Amino acid sequence: MDRIRIGGGRILTGAIPISGAKNAALPLMIASLLTRETLTLHNVPRLSDVRLLMRILGNHGIDAAISGKRIGQSEESGETITLCARDIVDTTAPYELVSRMRASFWVIAPLLARMGEARVSLPGGCAIGTRPVDLLLMALEKLGVEIEIDGGYAVARAPKGLIGGEIDFPKVTVGGTHVALMAAVMAKGETTIINAAREPEIVDLAECLTKMGAKIEGAGTERIVIEGVPRLDGAHHHVLPDRIETGTYAMAVAMTGGDVLLEGARRDLLDSALAALEGTGAHIAQEEAGLRIKRNGGGILPVDITTEPFPGFPTDLQAQFMALMTRAEGNSRIHETIFENRFMHVQELARLGAKISLDGDVAVVEGRRKLKGAQVMATDLRASVSLVIAGLAAQGETVVNRVYHLDRGFEALEKKLARCGADIERLSGEK
Ligand code: EPU
């Protein structure tokens, strides 16, 4: 199993190209099941989650191809993939695949829309919490779907086809909103989604569906109205830049010091996280080519944060911000409100010398810690990358194990950081 070795203590300077967003690419790929025509996605990040989803979609009968490189494209420019679901050959998504990637549960919506039936394994728990799918199933039931749970599978049928309705989410859910959108676009009549998630990835999916012929109003607000259409066509769509990758590298620079241009990044996608970073003393400027982040000398000021649905501070940047706060000039308070168990990084940060106390969903981070390199590992993607950031600022050598978590969501992580002067390399194979 690969590991990443980091020699800490170097400042970061240069430029990092920001990849297409994993959490936009996945639902966009799933949306290709909605049409017999070809969906072409540009700027798709090279990630193991994308490869796995291609396999899962292949199981349903999708022909997927990755286009060759074009002149002028660097190794880091995203890929163009084409997906064509001319005939859906299988409406079952098996446990072996869904349990490896929760988002693949979302195929339930387009399978129902196209075939009137789906049998999809329940994803089960994961490292960051229980993560139920009750609200996703509730949304489908509002559109006339009959669902029973049998042998660990959600067996869903829409005998009269999907029928527009009102879906009022009691809690904001990104996956629930993706599923509701994909089910409603070809339902008969009008669907209203109330208390919809407003994440930029929802807007990206809605924009792509609109190019495919869907009629959607209000994506990016709490109320989305969809007028069903009988069929969707193919389209071309560019995946939006990854706001979590952007925030992660911005936090790395805020921690090590330096000056880095995050190419292609957009402030409007992560305003609240950048405002918190500015509170710590980092300078951030939107330039034409992307976002520039600088911290020269000066201490890191402590800032309290609370994770919230968009436009609040994203839970997917909580672990990285915690790493930064271990070096702040005072104590800070981090309140996690989205996932009940998303503090798995606390014990690993402690191995590097951090002092963090937990009380339910609140972590109090003691500042002014001198971090020292160590062997660490983590059980989820964002927790793993928080250890990389901490390692960059620690004294001596840090080795991050279980790198496959990083490969799920960060394209060419070690190459991008090394280009900015970090001492970081991938060590392959068993120790
Ligand atoms: N929830 C329910 N019932 C449901 C669905 C969700 O109770 O039926 C709860 C969840 O347990 C959680 C909250 O609602 O407490 C929000 O969950 P949400 O549905 O918004 O999360 P998700 O769609 O499963 C996506 C991202 C996550 C990100 C969250 C929150 C993708 C592929 N995943 O998950 O990303 O943390 O939204 O922003 O888009 C990651 O990339 O590392 C990652 C975990």
Q: How far is the CA of 172 from the centre of ligand 1 (A)?
A: 9
- The answer, yes or no, to whether residue 289 has pLDDT greater than 80, is yes
- Per-residue pLDDT band for 150 (boundaries 50, 70, 90) equals very high
Top pLDDT among 376 and 78 is at 376
pLDDT at residue 378 tops 90: no
The pLDDT score that the predictor gives to residue 65 is 94
Collapsing DSSP states into helix, strand and coil, what is residue 77? Answer: coil
Are 237 and 39 contacting, i.e. CB atoms less than 8 angstroms apart? yes
Instruction: Give the mean model confidence (pLDDT) for residues 170-183.
Output: 98
Q: Is the pLDDT of residue 363 over 80?
A: yes
Contact criterion met (CB below 8 Å) for 106 and 34: no
| Nearest atom, ligand 1, residue 381 CA | 42
Cα(169) to centroid(ligand 1), Å = 13
Return the number of other C-beta atoms located less than 10 Å from residue 337's C-beta. 16
pLDDT tops 70 at residue 430 = no
Residue nearest to atom 44 of ligand 1 (CA): 316
| Sheet architecture: strand order including 258-263 | 12-17, 258-263, 290-295, 283-287
With a cut of 90, say whether residue 128 has pLDDT above it: no
pLDDT value of position 74: 65
Which atom of ligand 1 lies nearest, measured to the CA of 338? Answer: 15
Pocket of ligand 1 (CB under 6 A): 23, 26, 102-103, 129, 131-136, 171, 173-176, 315-316, 338-339, 381-382, 409
Give 389-400 as a DSSP string: HHHHHSBSEEEE
Token pair 């799918």 is found at 133
Q: Are 348 and 374 in contact (CB under 8 A)?
A: no
Mean pLDDT of the chain: 95
Does 199 or 429 have the greater pLDDT score?
199
369 versus 46: the higher-pLDDT residue is: 46
Contacts 24+ apart (CB under 8 A), 100-103: 100/52, 101/26, 101/49, 101/52, 101/53, 101/56, 102/126, 102/131, 102/175, 103/23, 103/26, 103/27, 103/30, 103/49, 103/53, 103/175
Give the residue whose CA is nearest to atom 22 of ligand 1: 175
CA distance 164 to 45: 34
Would you state the pLDDT for residue 131?
84
Among protein residues, the one whose CA lies closest to atom 17 of ligand 1: 173
| Residue to mutate, 106, 149, 173, 205, ligand 1, most ligand atoms under 8 Å from C-beta | 173
Write the residue with the smallest CA distance to atom 7 of ligand 1.
132
Q: Is the pTM of this model over 0.75?
A: yes
CA distances from 196 to 22, 112, 135, 192, 202 (A): 20, 21, 12, 9, 9
With tokens 């400027």, the residue in question is 285
Helix count and strand count (H, E) for the chain: 14, 24
Say whether pLDDT at 184 is over 80. Answer: yes
Question: Nearest residue CA, atom 10 of ligand 1?
Answer: 131
Q: Please state, in angstroms and rounded to a whole number, the distance separating the CA atoms of residues 391 and 374.
A: 8
Nearest CA to ligand 1 atom 19: 173
pLDDT for the residue numbered 283:
97
Strand 223-227: give its sheet, edge to edge: 166-168, 190-194, 223-227, 215-217
Ligand 1 centroid–CA 27 distance in Å is 13
Q: Write out the two tokens for 137.
A: 């199933």
126 as an active site residue: the answer is: yes
Q: Rounded to the nearest whole angstrom, what is the distance from the C-alpha of residue 347 to the centroid of ligand 1?
A: 23
Q: Which atom of ligand 1 is nearest the CA belonging to 175?
A: 23
Q: Which residues pair with 121 in a beta bridge?
A: 153
Tell which one of 47, 174, 179 to mutate to probe ligand 1, the residue whose CB is within 8 A of the most ligand atoms: 174
Peptide bond into 27 cis (omega under 30): no
Residue 75 is predicted with a pLDDT of 65
Q: Is the pLDDT of residue 306 over 70?
A: yes
The pLDDT tens digits for 335-349 are 999 998 899 999 999
- State the pLDDT at residue 72: 62
Residue 298's pLDDT is 83
Instruction: Give the distance from CA 107 to its chain's centroid.
Output: 17
Say which DSSP state 188 is in: B
Comparison of pLDDT for 1 and 12, the residue scoring more: 12
C-alpha of residue 314 to centroid of ligand 1, in Å: 11
Could you tell me which of 183, 186, 187, 190 has the C-alpha nearest to residue 217?
Answer: 190
413: CA distance to ligand 1 center in Å? 24
| Residues 215-268: tens digit of each pLDDT | 999 999 999 999 999 999 999 999 999 999 999 999 999 999 999 999 999 999
Of these residues, 84, 126, 208, 420, which one is catalytic?
A: 126
Tens digit of each residue's pLDDT (9 = 90 or more) over 68-100:
766 666 666 789 999 999 999 999 999 999 999
Q: Per-residue pLDDT averaged across 355-383, rounded?
A: 94
- Residue 216, judged by CB atoms within 10 A of its CB (0-12, 13-18, 19+), counts as buried
pLDDT of residue 297: 78
